[in-house]
Structure 1
Amino acid sequence: MVAPIARGVFRKAVNLPPTAATAYNGTPVAAGINFAARAPAGPHAHGHGPSLRSDPHQVPRWASNLRNSNGVLSARSGVNALPTVGQPRYFSSSSRCLQATQPDQVPDFSGYRTKTPESNKAFSYFMVGSMGLIAASGAKATVSDFLSSMGASSDVLALAKVEVDMNSIPEGKNAIIKWRGKPVFVRHRTKSEIDEANAVDVSKLRDPEKDSDRTKRPEWLVMLGVCTHLGCVPIGEAGDYGGWYCPCHGSHYDISGRARKGPAPLNLEVPEYDFNDGENKLIIG
């Protein structure tokens, strides 16, 4: 908007663009602005042409934060310069830009498609096979480690079997061997004890079992020394049947270790054992 001040003199308000450039004395540099403007010739100029402005020592009312020092109109303005931001590099910046011919059309991706589908299939099959092989190898190692951790250690295997020298047990005597934390009764039976065990009527026993089913060799009887009632340890060569007697609750076992009297419901258990005739040893376990 232009407002007349005097004849031939007008004042116009303008918005100066911000600038960061200044002169050597601090005056801001604005293109198109002449701070030493002369007033146009008036009717009283008498033909001498334009003269200097009549207000060179006054600060214009349209300006702000300006000062007039020694005839120099100057100002210091603080501006906020735009931040300097680098050009972002997108993931696909190395690829050729895809431009659609129309805003609503899909870009042409034919340049990125494989020429022959067979090569793409071969690569896919190779990757699937490789990943399957790696997964199978990892699964095999995991299962092997898991199964090996479940196996018995060397000290446990050492206690799994016990060797007994049969020469150290005379005929008609008992021996008690510790095996896996349990007592084992080893009886070297006489001929009369064997005949006595075979003469028993199996049908009358609470846990029917023949003597031949409980021994691999008639003269050697091997049993766990744990009462089948409540787990006490019976006493050898005692009881009403000349075998073993449990003092805890009065169970009686015959010379074959079969339950004959008392609360014991089952015969004494026979563990796994074998004979080593070369060394004349009995191997339990």
Structure 2
Amino acid sequence: MSHAEGVNIKRRRVLIASTAAIGAVGVASVATPFVRSWYPSAKAEAAGAAVTQDISAIEDGMMIVVKYRGKPIFVVKRTDEMVANLEKVKPQLSDPESAESIQPEYAKNETRSREPSILVVEGVCTHLGCAPNYRPEVGAADLGGANWYGGFFCPCHGSLYDLAGRVYKGVPAPTNLPVPEHSIDGPILTVGEA
């Protein structure tokens, strides 16, 4: 009698098929987390995603802060007087034409913005990364008196920026505050998309 005569062929096929199926499930369960580890995390995806903000409630002369990619984004609703004062500070600025600044093409203008009344800049000092304070009051004695038309003051090392985020001469900050890609559609500001 040969050895193969006592073997149940159907049973052998069922055992091989079930072993192969269990093996495939095992490989898939190991491969899935491995492949998913190549995908960016939810935090990383959110860090690069555009941020929207309704800016209709911002009062004239006020500022709000929006977080984008871990940085504060200053959004200022400038008054007509604030916009008019931008011309008055030009002689005091290091880069009044924003030639050395990081900004989208549509922000290469006197107001450094899409709309003159809305300023959108990164709220990080270009010197060492501190957060400047919003100081909109004209004539502040501690910031130059009659030569101060409102803007931003960095308390860490004394850098000054005007209400277009342009840096003053003779301060530690080397460049203007960066203008991030953004768009304005009615009352909705989108930071991260043009």
Look up the match of 1:260. 168
Look up the match of 1:57. none
1:158 and 1:228 mapped to 2: Cα distance?
Answer: 25
Matched, 1:176 2:74: no
Gaps of 5+ in 2: 1-34, 99-108, 137-142
Gaps of 5+ in 1: 1-145
Look up the match of 2:189. 282
Equivalent pair of 1:173/1:187 in contact (CA under 8 Å): yes
Distance change >3 Å, CA 152–CA 218, structure 1 → 2: farther
Look up the match of 1:229. 127
Q: In the TM superposition, what whole-angstrom CA distance separates every residue of 1:218-251 from its partner, at most 9, and x where no partner exists?
A: 0000000100111100010164431010011111
Look up the match of 2:90. 201
Equivalent pair of 1:207/1:265 in contact (CA under 8 Å): no
Identity %: 43
Q: Tell me the secondary structure at the aligned position of residue 168 of structure 1.
A: coil
Q: CA RMSD in A?
A: 2.5
Look up the match of 2:153. 245
1:157 and 1:213 mapped to 2: Cα distance?
Answer: 32
Equivalent pair of 2:165/2:177 in contact (CA under 8 Å): yes
Look up the match of 1:214. 112
Aligned length: 136
2:41 and 2:162 mapped to 1: Cα distance?
Answer: 38
TM-score, normalised via structure 2 length: 0.62
Matched AA of 1:214: R
2:58 and 2:40 mapped to 1: Cα distance?
Answer: 31
Look up the match of 2:77. 188
The structure whose RCO (Cα within 8 Å, separation 6+) is larger is 2
1:152 and 1:194 mapped to 2: Cα distance?
Answer: 42
2:68 and 2:157 mapped to 1: Cα distance?
Answer: 25
Q: 2:181 aligns with which of 272, 279, 282?
A: 272
Distance change >3 Å, CA 282–CA 192, structure 1 → 2: same
Q: Tell me the secondary structure at the aligned position of residue 259 of structure 1.
A: coil
TM-score, normalised via structure 1 length: 0.43
Equivalent pair of 2:86/2:110 in contact (CA under 8 Å): no
Q: Tell me the secondary structure at the aligned position of residue 165 of structure 2.
A: coil
Shift of 1:199: 3.8
Q: Tell me the secondary structure at the aligned position of residue 130 of structure 2.
A: coil
Q: Tell me the secondary structure at the aligned position of residue 56 of structure 2.
A: helix
Distance change >3 Å, CA 207–CA 170, structure 1 → 2: same
